[in-house]
Structures are given as C-alpha cells and as structure tokens.
C-alpha cells in the first residue's frame, strides 16, 4: 500500500489525466453497480494500471466522501437481498423456504438450485428467482438478523442443576471447598481428598435428587465457583505461614542465596532450590511444617545431574514476603535479634566463617564472618544495616567471579554478635565454626 505522502500525488495524476468530472461520475457508476468499495477499487485499478497508477481502498473512500457520493449501509447493499427483490420480499421468500426445509443449509442449497424437490422448484418459479451462488454464512446471518431462525432452547448445564440442588452458589462453594480440603485416611496414611473423592461425596448428597455427576462435572463446578485446584503431587494440606518476624527474616535471607522464588497464577509461591545438602536441610527444617509433602526428601534428597540437591516446593500465598526486594525487607528489621536472624539466613546460604590459629613466631587468632552474593542491591542494604547497628563491615569484590563479599572481623563485634547468631543458624558445620570463632575472640 502506498504511504500517506504519495496519495496526493496519485490523485493529482488521475485528475490531470481524466479530469474531476470523469472521476466523480466513474466512482458513482461503479459504486451503484458493485455496492462495495473494495470492488470499486479493483475495477478502477484495472483502468489506471495502463498509466502505471495503483490506488488503495482508503483513497477511494476519501474521494467518495469528498464528492458526496452516498454509501449504503450493509443491509440494503446485501447481494442476496438485491437478488431476492428487496428486504421485505427476501424475508417472505426465506421464511417460506425455511418452513419447508427446516435448516439454513438447505435454504442455501435451494437458492443455488441444488435441491430438485418439485415443491421448492415451484416456490422459486413463483417468485421468479434464478439460482445464484451464495455463502452459507451469509444466508445464516441474514435469516438470524431477520429473526426467521427458530433457535432451540438451550438446556440447563449439569453443573447449574447441581448448584441449585446444593442450595445456591454460596452453599455449593462452601461445601465443595470443605470436601476438597478435607483429609482422608487411605491405607493408614493421611491425604487430601482428590476430585474423584469429592465427586463420590457429592453423588451421595445428590442421590435423593436423582442427580449423578462425573469428575468432569466436578471440575466444571470448581471452575465456575472459583475454587482453585491443587498442583499435582500435593497430597497433604499446605499451611499458611504463622512464624515469628525472626523466622520470616531468616527464611527470606536463606532463599536469597540458593532459591529462585516466583508467584504462580494460583497465587501460591513456588521455590526452586539448588545447592549443597547442608543448605538443603536448612530449607527443609524451616518449611516441613508448612508443606508436609516434602517429608519424604529428608532421607532421600532429589538431585540434579551434577549431584547437587535440587527440589521444588509449593508454599501458601502467605509466603509472598519471599518476593520482597532487599530495600523492602530491611525495613522490617527493628532490633539486634531481627538483624541476627536476617544475617543467619545469609550465612546459612552464602556465608563463610573463618576460625584459625596461625603461628608466625607469635600466635595470631584469625576469625571472621563473610557473606557473599552477586546482588549489589542486597550487599548495599546489608552494609548500611550493619553500620546502623554500630558494626564496621569491610566490602571486597572477587575480580575473578564478580562476587561481593562482606566481612566482619573485629573481636568485640564478633563476641557480641555470634551468641545471637547461634540462636538462628541451622547449618551444622557453620554452627561449629561460629563456636570456634567465638572461642578465639
């Protein structure tokens, strides 16, 4: 299609060749015969191609508006209506054909002369209609617009009958949610009820009404009532977070190191962990009470091809604090206990504790706590947090890996901080190292 700058040039060339009067009369004549701007454009282009000019529908539309050529609405310029002799006559013919043939498809075939029934042939002859090509969809929509079609009454859907039998939307939703989140004992083991279990229970309730449903109807019911379905593999109830502020800060910091956190469309939180076994056990120790389905991993950790612990955990919507940015989470820290919980999470995931005695003709006690991460925003807010609590952290960057390292090495600060960290650090090896570092202070 030509761009907007080239259109005035084309119009000037047409006017120079043929004149304004010719163009106006030509457009009027073509539109009266074809009743379609698209067809008018195609016909006009056939004449203009000798002069190496080609125009688009938008130019024809604007020129017709400029010359005041009236365009007809869709109904009066319908080809089928014109062939049948006008709106009222078309309604009469289509109604008679529909009463005889009962379907729009057969009416279309009759208009195309494909039905040899003598009665239909007599109707077409009576109205002097010659067979012509017409699309089924055109016939259907025209008959529908003229209200000729007799639509079948849509049957009430099965799930609507169930909702009515259960006492309305509110009662049905409460009942199904209760059933779906109920615990059932199978082979002396607890598990949540499945959709099949819910279907069986509903059929017991609906038996007195003579209604029987399948699992498919139960799914439709749940979708209609807005009841979220569980992810496959969730066999035991997932609990909402009800821990302390310190536990929240520890868990956030722990996930910041070795877990990727996303929010699912269902609203639940998805944690994808990959790391060493000791850190994995820190995760499981914190989360097992909120998702009992992971209990089986304590003895047999899922692993990646590289041999690291790797698993995915689904958590309740209340764990959305794990999605907070570092600047948002540090605002929750109001005292030294909460700071210790936050630092403990970072130490368990990305921390390193040094506790050594070195001998260089004299005894040197080498002790420090290091926290590593590539997230500069996390490092910056943690440095500022430590300074706000009168600590003196050092900041270095590993040029080879690009990892930022925060270090705390002052004896007086470590002697004050380590006892508080020991309340929250869960990594067994790092707990021992902290005790050794404390002994060297």
pLDDT score for 368? 84
Q: In the block, which residue shows the tokens 């790797």?
A: 310
pLDDT score for 273? 85
Query: Any residues with CB less than 8 A from the CB of 379 and at least 6 apart, and which?
Result: 373, 395, 404, 406
Pick the closest to residue 348 from 441, 419, 283 (CA basis): 283
Token pair in block for residue 385: 């947090």
pLDDT score for 39? 86
What is the C-alpha separation between 340 and 437, in angstroms, rounded?
Answer: 16
Structural domains in the chain, sorted by start = 7-67 (no CATH), 79-145 (no CATH), 158-225 (no CATH), 245-323 (no CATH), 328-440 (3.10.28.10)
Which parts of the chain have pLDDT scores under 70? 1-8, 72-77, 151-156, 231-235, 298-299, 357-365
What tens digit of pLDDT does each residue of 33-44 get? 877 888 889 999
Q: In the block, which residue shows the tokens 């009515």?
A: 164
pLDDT score for 265? 76
Pick the closest to residue 440 from 338, 342, 369, 347 (CA basis): 369
pLDDT score for 365? 64
pLDDT score for 6? 41
- Beta-strand runs (E) in 236-349: 259-263, 269-275, 309-315
Find the helix or strand (DSSP H, E) in which 13 lies: helix 7-18
The whole-model pTM stands at: 0.54
Q: Coil, strand or helix: which one is 169?
A: helix
């Amino acid at each position: 299609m030509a761009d907007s700058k080239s259109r005035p040039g084309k119009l000037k060339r047409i006017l120079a060749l043929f004149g304004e009067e010719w163009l106006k009369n030509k457009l009027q004549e073509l539109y009266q015969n074809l009743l379609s701007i698209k067809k008018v454009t195609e016909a006009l282009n056939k004449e203009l191609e000798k002069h190496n000019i080609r125009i688009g529908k938008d130019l024809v539309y604007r020129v017709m508006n400029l010359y005041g050529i009236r365009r007809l609405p869709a109904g009066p310029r319908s080809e089928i209506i014109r062939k049948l002799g006008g709106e009222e006559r078309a309604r009469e013919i289509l109604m008679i054909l529909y009463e005889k043939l009962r379907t729009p498809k057969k009416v279309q075939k009759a208009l195309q002369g494909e039905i040899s029934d003598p009665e239909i042939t007599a109707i077409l002859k009576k109205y002097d209609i010659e067979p012509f090509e017409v699309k089924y969809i055109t016939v259907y929509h025209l008959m529908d617009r003229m209200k000729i079609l007799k639509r079948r009454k849509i049957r009430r859907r099965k799930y609507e009958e169930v909702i009515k039998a259960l006492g309305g939307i509110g009662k049905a939703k409460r009942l199904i949610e209760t059933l779906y989140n109920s615990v059932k004992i199978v082979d002396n083991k607890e598990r949540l009820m499945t959709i099949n279990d819910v279907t069986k229970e509903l059929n017991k309730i609906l038996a007195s009404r003579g209604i029987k449903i399948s699992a498919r109807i139960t799914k439709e019911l749940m979708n209609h009532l807005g009841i979220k379905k569980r992810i496959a593999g969730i066999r035991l109830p997932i609990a909402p977070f009800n821990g302390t502020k310190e536990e929240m800060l520890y868990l956030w910091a722990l996930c910041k190191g070795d877990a990727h956190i996303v929010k699912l469309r269902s609203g639940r939180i998805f944690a994808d962990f990959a790391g060493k076994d000791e850190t994995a056990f820190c995760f499981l120790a914190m989360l097992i009470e909120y998702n009992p389905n992971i209990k089986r991993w304590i003895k047999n950790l899922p692993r990646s091809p590289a041999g690291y612990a790797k698993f995915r955990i689904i958590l309740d919507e209340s764990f959305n604090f794990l999605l907070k940015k570092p600047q948002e989470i540090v605002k929750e820290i109001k005292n030294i206990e909460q700071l210790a919980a936050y630092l403990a999470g970072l130490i368990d995931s990305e921390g390193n504790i040094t506790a050594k005695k070195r001998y260089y003709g004299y005894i040197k006690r080498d002790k420090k706590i290091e926290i590593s991460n590539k997230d500069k925003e996390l490092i910056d807010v943690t440095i500022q947090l430590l300074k706000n609590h009168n600590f003196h952290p050092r900041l270095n960057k590993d040029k080879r890996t690009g990892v930022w390292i925060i270090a705390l090495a002052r004896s007086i600060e470590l002697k004050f901080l380590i006892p508080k960290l020991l309340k929250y650090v869960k990594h067994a090896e790092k707990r021992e190292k902290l005790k050794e570092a404390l002994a060297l202070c």
